[in-house]
Amino acid sequence: MKIIHVPEPGGPEKMQLADAPVPQQGPKQALVRLHASGVNFIDVYFRIALYKADLPITLGSEGAGVVEAVGAEVTEVAPGDRVAYAMSRGSYAQYAVVPAALLVKIPDHLDFPLAAAAMLQGMTAHYLTHSTYALKKGDTCLVHAAAGGAGGLIVQMAKMLGARVFGTVSTEQKAQIARGHGADETILYTQQDFEAEVKRLTGGRGVDVVYDSVGKTTFEKSLNSLRPRGLMALFGQSSGAVPPFDPNTLNGKGSLFLTRPSLGHYVATREELLWRAGDVLSWMDSGRLKVRIDRTYPLADAADAHRDLEARRTTGKLVLTIP
Ligand code: NDP
């Protein structure tokens, strides 16, 4: 089979198309013939060894395709099922062995690129808006990178829940996209002081929650944008890691809450996974949720997808199509 081979950590040039044997599933696993793979920032973190992995580095954390074979103890899916998943590495390939407990069946008329695009960022937006800080009607939230993959979905789900949503973006073109997702206000955080804007828009109060995927460049001002006892969900670091932090700061800024959540802890059981994935896929199916695929690339050009993502050139999801 064809696979993106990464022999050692480094830049996108380390990602080469190569041949490898088709993997063999274990008793609780399924062999999936992949047709599409999502591209996520976490793939970059594994590529550069910010997140550790064995060599050669296996890339790709979400995919969609057809179950080819299942292990003896698998009950969740059967050969021939159209499925999608997130959080198992190895989706930059024609075949992947995936824990069956992570697989969900996809609606008949949802195509593979859209299904692959929805899983990781869709379930992330779901847990952030429904669990980490469960938004309710009248709440206010600030969403960074609101035209991005995760950000665009958070904006849409926050609006479904009745919140007032402020979104930050780097360009006017991205602002239009964020407004298209439903953002009530957009802030060009490359030109405007977003903390001052949030204070102005909330009459000095601050927002109830900040969903921050940007990290280093936004962290401090995100805390300053919260109301007393507001919650900061720092879930990513597309601008770099936040430096070491003194918890007393949270007291000084109004008894704030700070959490650094990740998807794995919010799909802790099969039931929870099916709830989140089921909501995301059914909302897409009914048109309530729009997953915006910005660009697709053939598997062989996966390195270009990484270049575009890291260069901040993207507005939504990047997907690899797999021959
Ligand atoms: P995005 O589609 O949001 O792309 C990144 C965006 O971040 C850019 O388009 C850009 O938007 C913004 N950005 C700000 N500063 C920079 C910078 N210096 N370099 C690059 N981009 C920058 O990516 P994802 O939705 O895939 O992921 C965003 C972050 O969220 C990542 O850190 C990812 O690991 C994390 N994440 C965490 C999860 C979790 O469960 N904890 C799950 C999913 C993602 P703009 O130009 O508008 O500023």
Please give the distance, rounded to the nearest whole angstrom, from the Cα atom of residue 280 to the centre of ligand 1: 20
> What's residue 26's pLDDT?
98
Is residue 281 over pLDDT 90? Answer: yes
- Length of the chain as a residue count: 323
Task: Please give the average per-residue pLDDT across 238-265, as a whole number.
Answer: 97
Say whether both 238 and 304 belong to one domain.
no
* CATH code for the domain in which residue 53 is found: 3.90.180.10
Please give the distance, rounded to the nearest whole angstrom, from the Cα atom of residue 213 to the centre of ligand 1: 5
Say whether both 295 and 214 belong to one domain.
no
Is residue 87 domain-resident? yes
Is residue 207 over pLDDT 90? Answer: yes
The CA distance from 227 to 136, in Å, is 16
Say whether both 149 and 253 belong to one domain.
yes
Identity at 317, one-letter amino acid code: K
> What's residue 171's pLDDT?
97
H helices present in the chain, as ranges: 41-47, 112-127, 149-160, 172-181, 194-201, 219-224, 248-252, 263-266, 270-286, 302-310
87-100 pLDDT, tens digit each: 999 999 999 999 99
Task: Please give the average per-residue pLDDT across 248-259, as a whole number.
Answer: 98
What average pLDDT does the chain have? 97
Is residue 130 domain-resident? no
Say whether both 254 and 279 belong to one domain.
no
In this structure, what token pair is assigned to residue 197?
A: 């804007």
Longest Cα–Cα distance of the chain, Å, equals 61
| Domains: count for the chain | 2
Per-residue CA distances from 66 to 70, 96, 204, 213, 274 (Å): 11, 11, 52, 32, 18
* CATH code for the domain in which residue 215 is found: 3.40.50.720
Say whether both 275 and 310 belong to one domain.
yes
Q: Which residue among 260, 278, 313 closes a domain? A: 260
Task: Please give the average per-residue pLDDT across 160-184, as a whole number.
Answer: 98
Q: Which residue among 260, 277, 293 closes a domain? A: 260
> What's residue 112's pLDDT?
97
Say whether both 148 and 205 belong to one domain.
yes
Is residue 125 domain-resident? no
Say whether both 108 and 164 belong to one domain.
no
Say whether both 226 and 299 belong to one domain.
no
Say whether both 104 and 35 belong to one domain.
yes
Is residue 316 over pLDDT 90? Answer: no
Structural domain for 223, as ranges: 136-260
Best substitution site from 59, 168, 213, 217 to test ligand 1's pocket, by max atoms within 8 Å of Cβ?
Answer: 213
Please give the distance, rounded to the nearest whole angstrom, from the Cα atom of residue 92 to the centre of ligand 1: 20
Hey, which residues does 5 pair with through a beta bridge? Answer: 16
The reply to whether ligand 1 has any atom less than 6 angstroms from the CB of 149 is: yes
Say whether both 240 and 273 belong to one domain.
no
Please give the distance, rounded to the nearest whole angstrom, from the Cα atom of residue 22 to the centre of ligand 1: 32
209-223 pLDDT, tens digit each: 999 999 999 999 999
What is the Rg, in whole angstroms, of the alpha carbon atoms belonging to the chain? 20
Say whether both 186 and 86 belong to one domain.
no
Best substitution site from 312, 313, 314, 315 to test ligand 1's pocket, by max atoms within 8 Å of Cβ?
Answer: 312
Q: Which residue among 260, 279, 305 closes a domain? A: 260
22-34 pLDDT, tens digit each: 999 999 999 999 9
Question: Binning pLDDT at 50, 70 and 90, where does residue 296 land?
Answer: very high
User: From the alpha carbon of 239, which atom of ligand 1 is closest?
Assistant: 18
> What's residue 2's pLDDT?
98
Closest Cα to atom 8 of ligand 1: 312
Say whether both 21 and 37 belong to one domain.
yes
68-84 pLDDT, tens digit each: 999 999 999 999 999 99
Question: Binning pLDDT at 50, 70 and 90, where does residue 197 land?
Answer: very high
